[in-house]
Amino acid sequence: MSNSISVQLIQGPLDSDSRDHAAIGCGAQVVFDGIVRPQEEGAPIIGLKYEAYEPMTTRELMQLAERMIAKHGVSRICVEHSVGLVPVGKVSFRLIVESKHRKEGLQATDEFIDEMKRVVPLWKMAVHGQ
């Protein structure tokens, strides 16, 4: 696996700013943070609990990143996803895509997220308050 891909599953919410500087030659760094909203299917929640099926989850995320690099020509993709409980308002998913120009970075970001939500073994369960 190349060093242009990084995937991490992290217990709990993600740090507010854990990213590295963009690689030299990249004119664009797209950072997407997925934040837990206060409602799930119309009902108030206190957080989401995430579950993974390791090591398949990490491998599927890495393979998805490889496909996006090959398809869109972006330079680097970093993925962080929470497992366990993430409270409302906290970040549970971070995708960083680095590219020469913004067009391919934005396209790769959008397609990565669509595909991840469709096929990658990750699940969220709503946690309701008392």
Partner 1 sequence: MQIKVLLFGPQAQIAGQSSIEIEVVGEAPTVADVLVALSEGEPALAPSLSVSRLAINQQFAAPGDAVRAADEVALIGMVSGG
CB atoms within 10 A of CB 49: 16
The mark string for 4-33 relative to partner 1 (x by CB under 8 A, - otherwise) is ------------------------------
Ranges assigned E (strand) in 12-111: 28-35, 39-40, 43-44, 47-52, 76-87, 91-99
Position 35 contacts partner 1 (CB under 8 A): no
Q: What is residue 56's three-state secondary structure?
A: helix
C-alpha–C-alpha distance, residues 112 and 4, integer Å: 15
Q: Which one of the spans 10-18, 19-27, 49-57, 67-75 is the region binding partner 1 (CB under 8 A)?
A: 49-57
Joined tokens for residue 93:
């998913």
Position 89 contacts partner 1 (CB under 8 A): no
Q: Find the binder of partner 1 among 12, 34, 73, 84 (CB under 8 A).
A: 34
The smaller minimum CB distance to partner 1, of residues 20 and 51, is found at 51
User: What stretch of H or E contains 112?
Assistant: helix 102-119
Q: Which one of the spans 16-24, 46-54, 70-78, 103-111 is the region binding partner 1 (CB under 8 A)?
A: 46-54
Position 36 contacts partner 1 (CB under 8 A): no
